[in-house]
């Protein structure tokens, strides 16, 4: 496959992701604008810190009054799944330049991971072509975020309306998981953890504490299931 064919194929694969990113990126830009960020800052955030869920969490938690330490810890926890993506994709990068492999790994998201992994499994797919899929997607995401900032400065959009896009992302991530007992326990205890924190006045670190409680509950249930099958 020559360069021209690779670019066309990469753009074809990235196009559905790009369309989705327009509808997700604009609300994210709106939230960032309401949190006090300008277009350049949001563009740099999208370019240097490419994480849909993480980028939604930052302005949401900032507007909710969460401390900086809680924001950093929560975003880090959410993005820890990137370690799994990297481990899964590393076998395809063994004969690739380190600089290209780094760029590819740094621009992987949930959607591009799934698309590129399917192509790698079928064969006749390169890290260079996969990186182009990532960059097409990232460019659209960044521009959609900037558009959101511009619209936010021109229009009055309720924060709750834009914030619901973040809720939608996590609902999609939740319901895309297998309905195992450990996953159900993790989701349930995370909700309970956040609710209890809000109830007793721990509004700032509520999301982080709820997430940690959910992860712990899921691990305990998974361990108990493993012991019962032994």
pLDDT, one tens digit per residue, over 63-82 is 777 788 888 887 887 787 77
d(CA 79, CA 53): 8
Q: 175 or 87: which carries more pLDDT confidence?
A: 87
d(CA 76, CA 179): 25
Confidence at residue 41, expressed as pLDDT on a 0 to 100 scale: 93
d(CA 104, CA 78): 20
Confidence at residue 40, expressed as pLDDT on a 0 to 100 scale: 94
Confidence at residue 31, expressed as pLDDT on a 0 to 100 scale: 86
**pLDDT, tens only, 141-172:** 999 999 999 988 887 766 665 556 656 666 66
* pLDDT exceeds cutoff 60 at 38: yes
CB neighbours of residue 174 within 10 Å = 12
Mean pLDDT of the chain: 81
**Backbone Cα Rg of the chain:** 19
CB neighbours of residue 186 within 10 Å = 24
**pLDDT, tens only, 185-218:** 888 888 888 888 888 877 666 766 777 788 788 8
Rounded to the nearest 10 degrees, how much is the dihedral formed by the CA atoms of 161, 167, 171, 173? 120
Confidence at residue 158, expressed as pLDDT on a 0 to 100 scale: 65
């Amino acid at each position: 496959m020559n360069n021209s064919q690779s670019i066309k194929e990469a753009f074809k694969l990235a196009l559905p992701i790009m369309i989705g990113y327009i509808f997700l990126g604009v609300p994210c830009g709106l939230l960032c604008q309401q949190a006090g960020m300008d277009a350049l800052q949001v563009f740099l955030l999208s370019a240097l810190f490419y994480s849909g869920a993480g980028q939604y969490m930052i302005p949401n938690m900032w507007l909710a009054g969460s401390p900086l330490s809680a924001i950093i810890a929560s975003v880090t926890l959410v993005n820890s799944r990137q370690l799994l993506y990297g481990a899964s994709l590393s076998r395809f990068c063994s004969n690739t330049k380190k600089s290209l492999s780094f760029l590819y790994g740094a621009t992987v998201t949930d959607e591009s991971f799934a698309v590129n992994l399917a192509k790698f499994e079928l064969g006749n797919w390169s890290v260079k072509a996969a990186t182009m899929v990532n960059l097409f997607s990232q460019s659209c995401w960044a521009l959609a975020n900037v558009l959101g900032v511009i619209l936010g400065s021109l229009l009055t959009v309720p924060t709750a309306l834009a914030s619901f896009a973040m809720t939608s992302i996590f609902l999609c991530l939740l319901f895309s998981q297998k309905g195992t007992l450990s996953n159900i326990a993790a989701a349930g205890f995370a909700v309970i953890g956040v609710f209890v924190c809000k109830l007793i006045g721990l509004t700032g670190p509520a999301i982080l504490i709820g997430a940690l409680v959910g992860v712990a509950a899921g691990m305990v249930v998974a361990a108990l299931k493993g012991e019962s099958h032994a």
